[in-house]
Amino acid sequence: MKKEQIREQIWDVMEERGIARFPRPVYGRIPNFIGAEQAAIRLKELPEWRKAKVVKANPDSPQKPIRKLALLEGKVIYMAVPRLREERCFLELDPKRVKGREDEASSIKGAFKYGRLVLPHEMRRVDLIVAGSVGVNQEGARVGKGGGYSDLEYALGKEFRIVDESTKTLTTVHSIQVVSSQIEMLIHDFPLDYIITPERIIETRHSYPKPRGIYWEELGKEKLKAIPLLRKLKKQKQE
């Protein structure tokens, strides 16, 4: 199936079976799901999570329990500004600054209230990447909501040497989001090393190459126009 078919199928099933949670409807979103908190607790079993001191996390609702957990455990969090619309396109959440306010700070609104906007070169090296997903398969392929921003954030991390080949990637999903279908992986798509459901941890042991950075030839004019940091980087490369 094509990625759009997988998205529509999963969104339909989650709504029909009452798996979806606020915000609803889930169409067009990284879907929040019943069991998101249990998936975050399951994540604590992963050695890479326990060792991580700096986590890059997506800002979507189903991963809020992970962001809260990270802050409670003293981990620094980086979240991308939605659609990378600011030149300082990442928010840094320092657990020392949000002590006692971890629940509020782990929300998007709270992250803007308590976080610090930073440029990629101001960021610490990331130990672990948490991504939001609509669908995944056990080979480590991922389907997002279709905007391509997670892949761009990963690419920026590579460009600024915040992440490298050894940086592990994971997602938390409901078991219904783990599909048996083949998922097409393009050159800019980053694979998942781990899939966490409320019931289990799946180590994908994928064979996909991780993107080397920004593939400028694949970026459309709309993305360049809408993302200030990309325009700046493009200009620097042309000088």
Among residues 97, 93, 89, 142, the alpha carbon closest in space to that of 118 is found at 89
- Tokens read off for 57: 């996390």
Alpha-carbon radius of gyration of the chain: 17
Cβ burial of 48 (10 Å; 0-12, 13-18, 19+) is: middle
- Tokens read off for 108: 């998007």
Quick: pLDDT tens for 115-158: 999 999 999 999 999 999 999 999 999 999 988 899 999 999 99
* pTM, to two decimals: 0.95
**Candidate CATH numbers 3.40.50.10420, 3.10.20.30, 3.40.640.10, 3.30.70.20; the one for domain 3-238:** 3.40.50.10420
Quick: pLDDT tens for 48-64: 999 999 999 999 999 99
Where do the domains of the chain lie? 3-238
